[in-house]
Structure 1
Amino acid sequence: MSKPLLLAALSLFLAGNVMAAEDDSASTEKTESSAKPAKAAKKSADAKEEKAEDKKAEPTYPDWDVAFGAGAATDYVFRGISQSNRNPSWNSYVEFRYTPQKDVQFYAGTSIYQIDFPNDAFAEVDFYGGVRPTFDKVVFDFGFWYYWYPGGRTYNGLEPAYLNCTNGFYTPTGGCNTLEARLDFYEVYGKATYTPDDKLTLGVAAYYSPSWLNTGAPGTYASWTAKYVLPDKNLLPDGLGWYISGEWGNYFFGDTKDFYGNIPLPDYATWNAGLAFTYDVMTLDLRYYDTDLSEAQCNVLTGDDTATFRTKNITDINASGLGSKWCGAAFVGKLSFDMTAKTNLLK
């Protein structure tokens, strides 16, 4: 092949390679430029989805919800005093909640407890309602509570004794326990809880009734509570939590009405402390209760139908000499569940 032809062929070959390289470069730039908008569109879509999820997670107001639960305990102890004659008891409740705005909630509910009262009332049925305003880490609770004890009968201490004394007999001093059929009463209350972090909760509360247990004696109960969630990392099985909690309370009373002899009911202090385990909606609570009441004072407050006579129990306000063990130390185990409609049923 002559040199001119060889040079011409080489020129054509080089030109072809340059054009191919230019085509490849253009193709690459086109691919990259088209990929950038696609990636940007994906990021935008992801951002929109995240915003949609966040918006969905945020509650809207006004908001409605229903809380409900039930439990069974080895003893129903209320403010240090057994309401079930030291026997097992069950309870259940339902509470309706209305939240018109983020930091205010109105509520109304009812609960029922199995009891064993000396006047034969067969249950404690509660009706309550109030408002819970929130200010940062402090939640207040102001409300009204009505205690209804249906099915009771009056024991007035008149002859024949076995029909008209709750304990079914007269003591050697000629006295016995009396109790009216109607023990219903109401309270107004105010509470506040402070939660500095997700572990600790501190609370104070005050309750007032103008006629505690319909005795005619005004009653004021003040308490202080604390709860601390224990660390569970590597200590408990997955899903299981635990916490410790306790309460110290003081009850202050006035004088009773004529039926109960116009006597001053004894003030007292009560306390409890316990360890609880939680799993999902279930709670197992193991708790110790006690008071500073003597057996004679406890009898005055309860009209205990299982009270026994001892001469040491004869006092100015307990002439019968009967003594009750319903206010002493007690260890109580309770298994319960608590749910809300939106969290547990509609999620």
Structure 2
Amino acid sequence: MRFSTISLSALMLASATPAFAQEETAPPPPITINGSATIVTDYRFRGISQTDKNIAVQGGITISHESGFYVSAWGSSVSNYVTAAVTGTQELDLIAGFKKTWNGTTFDIGALYYVYPKTKLAGDNSSSDFIEPYVSVAHTFGPVTAKATANYAPKQKALALDQIGPKEDNLYLAGDLSAAIPGTPIGLTGHLGHTFGPSWLSIGKEYTDWGLGATVTYKALTFGVQYVDTDGDFITYTGKNASKAGVVGSVGVSF
């Protein structure tokens, strides 16, 4: 899943006439709506390809209240390569949370529900949808932002090995760094995460994923490139290693 970033304009100090002050310091609306649409060369979720290393189309919308509460929906094309006959084509993430910033530190807590509409064969009792609460803390140091995240999915049928065994839970811990190069439209990112198992999300045990990336922004467009890798192995029914290192390109628009 991916969040849309909600930006609030800083209030300017009042000066000159009251009319000028009113124009420049008008408060932001209590409810903000943001959206995005993106094309990626490979949809990687915690380092593992969700599209069998093929292109994905993604989009999302976030409704945020000035109190800090928000709801969001995000979707992507996927290829849930269970078998050649049963292949999911969509992922829908439904999110609700609370985010607030104090003195440069942003706290974010909420829950994410993953939905994978798919066609099942007769007698298929597997489950694919699951819920995952999360919490993150981020702090900005000048042009650099550091973020720590914990996602914990309690025991659910969808997290069972091969999605047919006993219920399993899953813990994901991650650290991210992002930096904007002053005076340029270029941004840099670094990521390190670890998935604890055993569960379907952890490829049956546990593994580490990492990545380095760069973005260039032009007006509402963002172009990105990222190197992604893991220390795990996940072989799809097509014979590809979905967790092998790769370069992911993207182009997106925000509104």
Work out whether the TM-score is over 0.5. Answer: yes
The equivalences for 1:45-194 within 5 A come to 46-56=16-26, 58-59=27-28, 63-100=30-67, 105-119=68-82, 120-153=87-120, 181-194=126-139
Query: Normalised by the size of structure 1, how large is the TM-score?
Result: 0.62
Instruction: Call closer, same or farther: CA 1:108–1:255 in 2, change over 3 Å.
Output: closer
Q: CA deviation at 1:182?
A: 2.5
Query: Normalised by the size of structure 2, how large is the TM-score?
Result: 0.83
Q: Quick check: 1:232 aligned with 2:232?
A: no
Q: Which residue, 238, 244, 247 being the options, matches 1:306?
A: 238
AA aligned to 1:99 is E
2:212–2:226 CA contact under 8 A, matched in 1? yes
Structure 1, unmatched stretches of 5+, are 1-44, 157-178, 234-240, 257-263, 308-323, 340-347
Structure 1 equivalent of residue 207 of structure 2: 268
Structure 2, unmatched stretches of 5+, are 1-14, 161-166
Larger radius of gyration: 1
Q: Quick check: 1:335 aligned with 2:251?
A: yes
1:124–1:150 CA contact under 8 A, matched in 2? yes
Structure 1 equivalent of residue 168 of structure 2: 217
Cα shift readout 1:298-347 (whole Å, capped 9, x = no counterpart): 24xxxx2213xxxxxxxxxxxxxxxx5100001000101122xxxxxxxx
**SS at 2:182's partner residue?**
coil
> Distance between the aligned counterparts of 1:329 and 1:255, measured in 2?
22
**Range moving further from structure 2, 212-221 or 267-276:** 212-221
Structure 1 equivalent of residue 188 of structure 2: 244
Q: CA deviation at 1:135?
A: 1.5
> Distance between the aligned counterparts of 1:284 and 1:75, measured in 2?
14
Q: CA deviation at 1:51?
A: 1.9
2:199–2:205 CA contact under 8 A, matched in 1? no
| Larger strand share, 1 or 2 | 2
Structure 2 equivalent of residue 167 of structure 1: none
1:217–1:265 CA contact under 8 A, matched in 2? no
Percent identity, aligned pairs only, is 24
Root mean square deviation of aligned Cα: 2.2
Cα shift readout 1:129-180 (whole Å, capped 9, x = no counterpart): 1000221110011000011111142599xxxxxxxxxxxxxxxxxxxxxx96
| Larger helix share, 1 or 2 | 1
Which stretches of structure 1, 4 residues or longer, exceed 4 Å deviation after superposition?
none
The equivalences for 1:6-25 within 5 A come to none
Instruction: Call closer, same or farther: CA 1:305–1:181 in 2, change over 3 Å.
Output: farther
> Distance between the aligned counterparts of 2:19 and 2:198, measured in 1?
63
